[in-house]
Chain A
């Protein structure tokens, strides 16, 4: 991968959210490629301004979707973050903190507890004193949290006996597992309704996306190896994931082991088995619900639309469940969440989410978004600006529709916190 493949046509400019916000060539994909190239020159100027322009990249990969020469700008910036970026202390603290929370099951429980407290009037203070090093935006984001469960989803979903050719390993994610555990449980129910046996290994690890995007690749290889082992032991033919960001990372595991033939091969097999839940369900035999008149608009997570080219499936799935879709303008533009970007780049992130809110069609209150970062980001911004919208994972909306139509058993009581 290198920058010289860019023919400087400029077709990517209008796709780039940071260019739209700043209007600066250096905040565009083409400009970032020039900067990356400059960075490598012998007498290069490695100053904070240049680093900032590069680091402002959301890794949303909108540019990669439109580039006719397939220049992997988002990947190249990510590579630069891992190898060349001068250390930014703020990010290091953040990543260490995150490493604790997402790196282990007990860390995740803490994460869940803190998030739950942060919803209480006194809790924000407690949570913030624990997370003292995190920027103020954490408090702001906590407004986006859903009702929280007391347990991680992996502890309640359970595993079925494998069925030939239709067994899936459920990759539960971290934020999905802890914060959106309800969505995870519903994902499992829908998979079962569609005829799949679901296996949920409790020792699975974080996919590593947040760390990779921030250029901290160290721990990720170890987590990847564990996830690959879990899959190999599970007897499943597919790995199902419902967070767009995790899906992208899981589908790029082989690159972590470039030059190590054995692991590369295992990682490649793993990669090929990963499938997004909306894709699997859209292709499945889920029943058709007649239109209910409920309206929804779809925000396409970057890691769906650009990185995995998933666009139609969530819509097909929602339509099959009886929803009417009102499209928002620029549905594939980044909402500014972008992993931990909203924590590291609050201003840019704020500008982007404001645009996202503005593009939700008037009168539409249901917004579907298939990534926990987007869910949190858009919901928090909506609450702050008192906009009456409910941002949900498409799985939740679809589950609700099947539930109302009598296809799913009554929800158990008592799991909500």
Chain B
């Protein structure tokens, strides 16, 4: 037994330090299934103080640390780094306080995203960032990935909703970043930490903004016979100045899968694209904007337009959309979801390109997008038992990302870089920019103990690192 293991047991209790090989196997993957790696141990800290002690002990022994929430990361962020110990935050899952007057909710990092909104709902509030994985993913993971979701088009992503956080730094210090007023005083350290994928600090307590629930909302589903036509409709809606709360699209293969899934809506099987739009706000404004959207849609070849008739129907449409990734399991043994961003007006061109990449690599691709902000989620379907297909799928995915950059977009919208997109980082950023990233990392974590091997491509692999710039 390693020395550090006994020391950890003294801090968190033996039952919260786990090394059983089968258990480690269960922790060797997250939602990104193209890679896996076994950790040396899994620790379940019970408080900020315990996390701090655990980090100190492991730092003293030079053991890397990887934080884990629900393990729904799609870029391998929660997969063990080499020789690392995983800190699983499932025990820090309490909502500590809801401050209705100041509209701030104080939570542990292991709290499930959807549970925050559930707790706020009776008081007429919600937590706005709503990743499709919200029924399972945690606030700590959202913090690390700067997660977004369908409703972030209007409300903004995680960084706009975390006001303050207690963070354990790689040197074992606990620091509070941000403030309850939500205005950075001096450099925006909190803004830097949100989205840093667990490479700079580990959040152990977070203060979240509460957003008043809109008083009215309308959800519209438009069915199209062509994806291009649907994309033009998206552009038209945005150009008209409407800011929907959400504007989502699914293509034929995606529709086929969700209709087989847990929440079928009844979209006809030959529908080429579904556009889901939600408008919310004050009742009168909502009504007017909904009318505006409906009349805009009349200018396009729309097969059918429906407005949700009840809250139940609306929730069903969203559940159907939000389980699209998982539903791929029904039509393929594995899926690999890409997460590129493109300027919205290039949507039809990008879709054509994805089509030809699909044909070229002989990989079926379903498409789900946050159409409102040009965030594509092509789902590449493959069979992990066929090594050649696995390699084709990786190349096809990479090519899609490169094309997004070419169109003036980026290699990630919300799923992060993790292990998955290290190579593409060099496509997106200049060597100088990467050096700057690396310099920041060194300020926080000179010994490279926090989630090493993720987010930042190792300098040795592409550029020579010669001291701080």
Q: How far is the CA of A14 from the CA of B26 in the complex (A)?
A: 16
Those of A1-56 within 8 Å (CB) of chain B: 4-15, 19, 23-26, 30-31, 34-35, 38, 45, 49-50, 53
Q: Bits for B173-208, please: 1 = Cβ < 8 Å to A, else 0.
A: 000000000000000000000000000000000000
Of A61-69, A120-128, A157-165, A228-236, which binds chain B?
A61-69
* Shortest Cβ distance from residue A129 to the other chain B in the assembled complex, whole angstroms: 35
B16-32 CB mask vs A (1 if < 8 Å, else 0) is 00101111011101110
Distance A119 CA – B29 CA, assembled complex (angstroms): 51
Q: How far is the CB of B27 from chain A (nearest CB, A)?
A: 5
A26 engages B329 (CB within 8 Å): no
For chain A, residues 56 to 84, give those with C-beta under 8 angstroms from any C-beta of chain B: 65-71
A11 near B329 (CB under 8 angstroms)? Answer: no
Q: What residues of chain A lie closer than 8 Å to B21, measured between beta carbons?
A: 45
Q: Please give, as numbers and ranges, the residues of chain A lying within 8 Å of B118 by CB-CB distance.
A: 329
Q: B115 contacts which chain A residues (CB < 8 A)?
A: 14
Closest to A5 in B: B329
Determine how close the nearest CB of chain A comes to the CB of B95; give it in whole angstroms.
13
Contact across chains for B329 and A66 when beta carbons are under 8 A apart:
no
- The CA of A261 and the CA of B110, in the complex, are separated in Å by 50
* Residues of the A chain whose Cβ atoms lie less than 8 Å from the Cβ of B261: 68-70
* Nearest opposing residue in chain A for B86, CB measure: A25
- A248 to B91 alpha-carbon distance, docked (Å): 33
Interface size on B, residues (CB 8 A): 44
The contact of B262 among A14, A26, A70, by CB within 8 Å, is A70
Question: Are B112 and A14 closer than 8 Å at their CB atoms?
Answer: yes
Contact pick for B23, options A4, A25, A67, CB 8 Å: A25
Q: Which residue of A lies closest to B383 (CB)?
A: A4
- Which one of A14, A24, A68 contacts B326 once the chains associate, using CB atoms below 8 Å? A68
A10 touches B329 (CB 8 A): no
Alpha-carbon distance between A106 and B324 when the two chains are bound, in angstroms: 53
Contacts of B326 in A (CB 8 A): 7, 9, 11, 67-69
Is the CB–CB distance between A68 and B325 below 8 Å?
yes
Partner of B25, one of A38, A67, A71: A38
Q: Closest chain B residue to A49 by CB distance?
A: B20
The yes or no answer to B323 lying at the interface (CB within 8 A) is: yes
For window 62-88 of B, CB contacts with A under 8 Å fall at: 70-72, 88
* Known pairs A34-B26, A50-B22; A10 contacts B328 (CB<8 A): no
Instruction: Kindly provide the distance from the CB of A207 to the nearest chain B CB, expressed in whole angstroms.
Output: 27
A26 and B22 contact, CB distance less than 8 A: yes
Once A26-B23, A68-B323 are accepted as A-B contacts, the answer to whether A6 and B329 lie under 8 Å apart by CB is yes
CA distance A24 to B42 in the complex (A): 10
Q: Looking across the interface, which residue of chain A has its beta carbon closest to that of B334?
A: A7
Residue of B91, B133, B329 near A7 (CB, 8 A) is: B329
State how many angstroms separate the Cβ of A232 from the closest Cβ of chain B: 35
The digit string for A323-345, where 1 denotes a CB below 8 A from any CB of B, is 00000010000000000000000
Tell me whether B31 and A66 are in contact (CB under 8 A).
no
| Cα(A19)–Cα(B70), bound, Å | 11
Of A11, A23, A66, chain B has the most CB atoms within 10 Å of the CB of A11
Shortest beta-carbon distance from B76 to chain A in Å: 11
| Contact (Cβ within 8 A) B135 A14 | yes
Partner of B26 from the list A4, A11, A25 (CB cut-off 8 Å) is A25
Residues of B within 8 A of A329 (CB): 118
Cross-interface CB contact of A23 among B20, B29, B90, B114, cutoff 8 Å:
B90
- A9 and B25: CB pair below 8 A? no
B91 close to A25 (CB less than 8 A): no
A interface residues, how many (CB within 8 angstroms):
34
Contact B22 A11 (CB under 8 A): no
Most chain A CB inside 10 Å of its own CB: which residue of B21, B326, B330, B335 = B326
B22 x A38 contact (CB < 8 A): yes
What residues on B are CB-neighbors of A12 within 8 Å? 136
Tell me if B33 counts as interface (CB < 8 A to partner A).
yes
**Distance, CA A70 to CA B259, complexed state (A):** 12
Q: Is the CB of A9 within 8 A of B31?
A: yes
With both chains docked as a complex, state the minimum distance between the C-beta of B176 and any C-beta of chain A, in angstroms: 25
Contact with B along A292-312 (1 / 0, CB 8 A): 000000000000000000000
A67 to B112 alpha-carbon distance, docked (Å) = 17
Could you tell me the distance in whole angstroms from the C-beta of B156 to the nearest C-beta in chain A? 24
Which residues in A have their C-beta under 8 angstroms from that of B398?
none
- Nearest chain B residue, comparing its CB with the CB of A4: B333
Q: Is the CB of B22 within 8 A of A65?
A: no
CA distance A68 to B318 in the complex (A): 13
Q: B26-66 interface mask toward A, CB cutoff 8 Å, 1 = contact, 0 = none?
A: 11011101000000001010000000000000000000000
Please determine whether A66 and B335 come into contact, CB atoms closer than 8 angstroms. no
Asked if B171 CB lies within 8 Å of chain A CBs, one says no
Report A-chain residues with C-beta under 8 Å of the C-beta of B27. 25
User: Which listed residue (A23, A31, A38, A68) contacts B329, Cβ 8 A?
Assistant: A68
Contact A10 B90 (CB under 8 A): no
Distance in Å: Cβ of B378 to nearest Cβ of chain A: 16
Residues on A with beta carbons closer than 8 Å to the beta carbon of B328: 7, 69
Given A25-B23, A68-B329, does the pair A10, B262 have CB atoms closer than 8 Å?
A: no
Q: Which residue of A lies closest to B68 (CB)?
A: A25
Contact of A69 among B29, B42, B72, B327 (CB under 8 A): B327
- How far is A45 from B26 in the complex, measured between Cα atoms in Å? 14
Q: How far is the CB of B93 from chain A (nearest CB, A)?
A: 7
Q: Which residues of B contact A15 (CB under 8 A)?
A: 135
A45 cross-chain contacts in B, Cβ below 8 A: 21-22
The list of the 9 closest CB pairs from A to B, nearest first, reads A69-B329, A68-B326, A23-B90, A68-B323, A7-B329, A31-B26, A10-B72, A68-B327, A34-B26
**17 interchain pairs (CB within 8 A)?**
A9-B325, A10-B70, A10-B72, A11-B135, A13-B70, A13-B71, A14-B70, A23-B91, A26-B23, A30-B26, A49-B23, A50-B22, A53-B23, A67-B326, A68-B330, A69-B330, A70-B261
A residues neighboring B (CB under 8 Å): 4-15, 19, 23-26, 30-31, 34-35, 38, 45, 49-50, 53, 65-71, 329
With A14-B112, A26-B26, A66-B135 given, can you name 6 additional A-B contacts, CB distance below 8 Å? A13-B70, A25-B23, A26-B22, A49-B22, A67-B262, A69-B326
